[in-house]
Structure 1
Amino acid sequence: MAASDSTASGLRAVLIATAIAGALGYAVQLLAPALLTDESVYVAFSVFWSTIYLGVSAMSGVQQEVTRAAHPATNEPPSAVLRTFALAAAGLVVLASALVALLFGTRILPGPVVVTGAVLAIGLVGYLAVAVLSGVLYGLRFWRDIAGIMVLDAAIRAVLLIAGFTVGLPIEWLALLVALPFGLAFGATWLVVRRRVVGRFRLDVPLRRFAAHAWGTVGAAAASGVLITGLPMLIGITAAGTPPETLGALLLTITLTRAPIVIPIIALQSFLISAVFRGGRVRPGRLLQVLALLLAAVAVLAVIAGFIGPPIVSWVSAGRFTIDGWMVGVIVLSAGLVGAMSVTSPALISARRHTANFVGWLVAAVLTVGGLIIPIAGPSRIAIALTVPAIVGLVIHVVSLTRPGIQHDVHGGGSPDSVGPGGLG
């Protein structure tokens, strides 16, 4: 393979890999409620899946910053910056896993807190390795290798979990099968690409600047994860006293409806940074047109989902779960809003507007948590928590991209950092 494939072939490879990986993940999510006949076990599986993928969402910020910072080069010494950062980040990940287990252990995974922390650490350190390697591959534009690691990770997980569902493994072992494939996919891919990666790239910033940028992208990605993969975990934590069948119906609907809309956009974020917005090439007017079309399409989907969603949820769960049509529509609409933020986010990162990106996601995440704990009875609380925060966050992103001065910076007329570290200064 050439050192740098074309953008067109890269988009095709990443899109195909995203579709395959998404289909495999979706198959797991569809089979889980069918094969895990105990509602409590299904809820535990969903909450753990949400928890570990909240961490994955956070560390996707590492992938985004490595993608932005890595550039092709020849005869470069192995990057001490990236190695040092990765080792320090791995230590923080282990500490964070232990802290989450201590604070929320039995709410995330029944059983000993030590097991919860260990399984989280195994999965999240494995994904950190995947994120760093994938960021370098995006920077080098090794599209087919990127596609390969995406599909390999999803395929290993799907095979292991479907086998685990079938033989009735305990929830602790199912959690381990969720976590292990990250490290396995990294190891297999590293064996293939190592000779073509070591010494072939450079980072455009020193360690301190890289760490500062990465901290901003990780913070933004973590906050975005609250609105995406972490939502079932938050709902599970804040839904004390809710009957398992009611909670299961809500979690299943979120999984079925949001994933096909949001996950493909999330998977393309590094591609957008590497190939579309590289060097801060952002056209605010064109971006607004794309966002308007995206939201209009999602609004139509929300109406359709309101009619066909409830019978699909009932069918997938073998009649155990039921949900109102209007709630299905709200969940789909909220997915479109988060998807729109997932398009504006890489545009801001590419323009080195890390602060604006972080603030938008952080405000949305804080409002989501606040919406879930407000003392409003019934499903209205969930509807507010799903929609209002994403609207506010999207407005913050759009204002930052379109305000006076941003166009000059992103078209090369000045340093992207000249108006502050993230564009809000």
Structure 2
Amino acid sequence: MTDGAAVPPDLSRGPVTRSSVIRVGSATVISALCGYAVLYLAARNLEPAGFSVFAVFWGAFGLLAGAANGLLQESTREVREASRAPQSDGPRIHPMWVAALVGVVSAAIVAGSAPLWSGHVFVDARWLSVGLLSVGIFGFCMHATLLGVLAGVNGWGQYGSLIVGDAIGRVAVATATFLIGWGLIGYLWATVAGSIAWLVLLLASPTTRAAARLLTPGTMVSFLRGASHSIAAAGASAILIMGFPVLLKATSADLGAAGGVVILAVTLTRAPLLVPLTAMQGNLIAHFVDQRERRLRSLVAPVAVLAVLGAAAVLFAGLLGPWLLRTAFGADYQASGALLAWFTTAAVAIALLTLTGAATVAAAMHRAYAAGWIGATLASTLLLLLPLPLETRTVVALLCGPLVGIALHVVALARVPAA
């Protein structure tokens, strides 16, 4: 599977083990803490209205990066499948070169289309925001694909290092911004600062360079065909997860200070569940590929773990959330325990959709995967247009929309015989 070089012995192709989950889980904890740190510094440094502006850019980059995670999913599946199947003499492609092509095209689309939408999305630092988005999305396409390749060959140590490197890059710039008083501009730079972590890891790690040279069977057209469905679904998921501030602004006349509080509350209540799940997409897809003969049964254990953790998170948010929000971010950030508990319940629904989505993409059911996430996003968008108070329609949209996607995924997994 390489271009003439042997795969290093630490890149094994066995099943996903508990130690690999622990490695990635540890990296995810560090990543989550760094993410919280960036949000904390921005919220403490900027008033709620200013934080709302930053959060929209944070969400816009998260939306694009989330879509690029489709490359992670497809490269994981392709490399994992290739490691399980006999090698053939047919055409093969280099996933990292495909990532570079997709990254360049994505950056060009962002920059070229900016005059049509940037004025409606970015209140301040409009063209800097566009430039950072363009450069950042190229870097994240490379980042996501390298993660996928590493997951496909069980390179979990390097996988975790890449996750941590991305997070540390962000928090380092955010900390410098807080200390020197750079203001909003500094937090915009911090948002995309981790996009060069893939290059740093390539330069520093011979094992990572060996993994990056791996080839997979097929043509660029076949890879992009599968990746396009994954990217579409990942983009839809990113709207509900990282890009939610953008969606909320697009469906609201004026967010103001209330919008900043809602965005922060939603971000904080979903992060404990969704940050680990997002970071562990490689583990999940590799697990489901290995268990593809047991599609629905392979979901039971992850769903049970999520249910237990979700119930604990809802209880914690309801009882301690309001106090933590006021203490950590200041008296301007007020939300009731009931509201925070509902936001956390909605996060559990999106986490379940993430699990069923990973199972469908692992089974190469790209259309069902995309349909589930797109259906959930469309349902949530329509629900956000209801004539209800901001907090109420946010809960309804984020709780009910994902149920549509879960149903589509489960039906697809149940109807098609396992390979």
Distance change >3 Å, CA 31–CA 62, structure 1 → 2: same
Q: Secondary structure of the equivalent of 2:393? A: helix
| 1:159-308 to 2 correspondences below 5 Å | 159-183=172-196, 185-191=197-203, 192-193=205-206, 195-197=209-211, 199=213, 201-244=214-257, 246-278=258-290, 280-288=292-300, 290-291=302-303, 294-295=306-307, 297-308=309-320
2:335 is the alignment partner of 1:328:
no
Is the 2:76–2:286 Cα contact (8 Å) retained in structure 1? yes
2:106 is matched with 93
Is the 2:162–2:201 Cα contact (8 Å) retained in structure 1? yes
Percent identical residues: 26
Any unmatched runs of 5+ in structure 1?
413-425
Instruction: Measure the CA separation in 1 of the matches of 2:298 and 2:291.
Output: 17
Worse overlay, 99-108 or 145-154: 99-108
2:148 is the alignment partner of 1:139:
no
After superposition, give the CA deviation of every residue in 1:243-300 in whole Å (9 maximum; x if it has no partner): 32x1121111112110011110111111122244337243413524642553364245
Of 53, 71, 94 in structure 1, the residue corresponding to residue 62 of structure 2 is: 53
Worse overlay, 296-305 or 62-71: 296-305
2:54 is the alignment partner of 1:27:
no
Distance change >3 Å, CA 142–CA 301, structure 1 → 2: closer
Instruction: Measure the CA separation in 1 of the matches of 2:384 and 2:108.
Output: 27
The count of residues paired between Structure 1 and Structure 2 equals 403
Distance change >3 Å, CA 377–CA 29, structure 1 → 2: closer
Is the 2:281–2:358 Cα contact (8 Å) retained in structure 1? yes
Instruction: Measure the CA separation in 1 of the matches of 2:328 and 2:401.
Output: 30
Is the 2:34–2:167 Cα contact (8 Å) retained in structure 1? yes
Q: CA deviation at 1:176?
A: 2.0
Please give the root-mean-square deviation of Cα atoms over the aligned residues, in Å.
2.6
Amino acid at match of 1:212: R
1:337 is matched with 349
Is the 2:57–2:129 Cα contact (8 Å) retained in structure 1? no
Amino acid at match of 2:40: L
Amino acid at match of 1:119: L
Q: CA deviation at 1:235?
A: 1.5
Distance change >3 Å, CA 77–CA 318, structure 1 → 2: farther
Instruction: Measure the CA separation in 2 of the matches of 1:374 and 1:216.
Output: 29
Is the 1:20–1:151 Cα contact (8 Å) retained in structure 2? yes
1:357 is matched with 369
Distance change >3 Å, CA 170–CA 28, structure 1 → 2: closer
Worse overlay, 250-259 or 372-381: 372-381
Is the 1:368–1:389 Cα contact (8 Å) retained in structure 2? yes
Q: Secondary structure of the equivalent of 2:9? A: coil
Distance change >3 Å, CA 27–CA 173, structure 1 → 2: closer
Q: Secondary structure of the equivalent of 2:111? A: helix
Q: CA deviation at 1:80?
A: 4.7
Distance change >3 Å, CA 323–CA 340, structure 1 → 2: same
Q: CA deviation at 1:195?
A: 4.5
Is the 1:216–1:358 Cα contact (8 Å) retained in structure 2? yes
Instruction: Measure the CA separation in 1 of the matches of 2:377 and 2:112.
Output: 20
Is the 1:106–1:112 Cα contact (8 Å) retained in structure 2? no
2:4 is matched with none
Any unmatched runs of 5+ in structure 2?
1-7
**What TM-score does the superposition give when structure 1 sets the normalisation length?**
0.87
Q: CA deviation at 1:78?
A: 12
Q: CA deviation at 1:79?
A: 6.3
1:417 is matched with none
Is the 1:258–1:332 Cα contact (8 Å) retained in structure 2? yes
Instruction: Measure the CA separation in 2 of the matches of 1:147 and 1:195.
Output: 15
**What TM-score does the superposition give when structure 2 sets the normalisation length?**
0.88
Q: Structure 1 residue runs of 4+, over 6 Å off?
A: 76-79
2:410 is matched with 398
After superposition, give the CA deviation of every residue in 1:63-113 in whole Å (9 maximum; x if it has no partner): 110111124599x99965535522431232113322663344245433454
2:22 is matched with 12
2:16 is the alignment partner of 1:2:
no
Distance change >3 Å, CA 100–CA 386, structure 1 → 2: farther
